[in-house]
Amino acid sequence: MSAERATGASGVADRVIDVALMAISFAMLTPLAFLVSNAFKTPAELLAWPPTLIPDAPTLDNLRAVIRETPLFRWIFNTIAFATLSTAAIVTTSAVAGYVLAKFRLPGFGLIFGTILATAIIPFEVYMIPLYLGVQAAGLLNTLWGLLIAYLVMSFGIFLIRQYAMTSIPDELIEAARVDGAGEWWIFLRVALPLMRGPLGALGVLAFFQAWTAFAWPLVVAAKTEAQVIEVGLALFQTGFTVELGRLSAAAAVALVPSVVFFAVMRRNFVRGVAASGMKE
């Protein structure tokens, strides 16, 4: 009888949690729904109160104006290239550094790992100016490579892969490969890397959206309009006294598409990676 009561209580608790999660999801998606809706509203309807979710007279004027007056697709292309290359660099550096720090016991590695973790608590604004001066001296302002300089390594990524490699990749497996005559790079590429696909997929999603939403560094290093990324481009619709809400909503709605597609493709890897990173043998 007590077991049945426990099962019933557990079922009620699960339903309460499901309802709460659905309510939270609805609350998070509502602003996005209004964003897309505002992209198709007239200026008069944008200012109407109470606001309506479905436009009374849908129009494409906002989208046409954005495409005609701004290099929107250039901004999106810049952002996709920036985020893709940054993600590839962060996944690569995190995989190599995390694996080496986890599986090699050499003097000074503890200090190196501690230093990497310490950099995570240093605000980017502290070293942004010295980094800018270095990029300026190298002649990389208003270039993709100048943007990438600050987004090649992620300390959290190295920490994540190191912890996963320490707890989920058996040392015996690596030693067996060494006994069979395999080289270190072969072991890393053929043995360790396939086992790290889950956390690397999760890290890839985090790295992509970190670059996609970057604002301060692109604002500083890319002054030319055609070299800017979408986050900086969207800020141009807001002036000191007014906000072009319709055009801003249209541009933001278009900019949402690549990130939503990327997350839809990578969502399974993200969930699998988060779950795997919390497991221990």
Q: Enumerate the domain spans of the chain.
A: 61-277
pLDDT confidence band for 280 (50 / 70 / 90): very low
pLDDT confidence band for 93 (50 / 70 / 90): very high
pLDDT surpassing 90 at residue 91: yes
pLDDT confidence band for 89 (50 / 70 / 90): very high
DSSP one-letter string for the chain: -HHHHHHHHHHHHHHHHHHHHHHHHHHHHHHHHHHHHHTT--HHHHT-SS--SS-SS---HHHHHHHHHS-HHHHHHHHHHHHHHHHHHHHHHHHHHHHHHHH---TTHHHHHHHHHHHTTS-HHHHHHHHHHHHHHTT-TTSHHHHHGGGS--HHHHHHHHHHHHHHS-HHHHHHHHHTT--HHHHIIIIIHHHTHHHHHHHHHHHHHHHHT--HHHHHH--SGGG--HHHHHHTTB-SS-B-HHHHHHHHHHHHHHHHHHHHHHHHHHHHHHHHHT---
Kindly report whether the global pTM for this prediction surpasses the value 0.85.
no
Structure tokens at 86: 């940054």
pLDDT surpassing 80 at residue 108: no
- Residue indicated by tokens 């493709």: 265
What would the pLDDT profile of 183-201 be if each residue is shown by its tens digit?
888 888 888 888 888 888 8
Percent of the chain predicted with pLDDT > 70: 89
Query: Domain 61-277, CATH 1.10.3720.10 — does that match?
Result: yes
- 158 with 193: CB under 8 angstroms? no
Query: What's the mean pLDDT in 33-50?
Result: 79
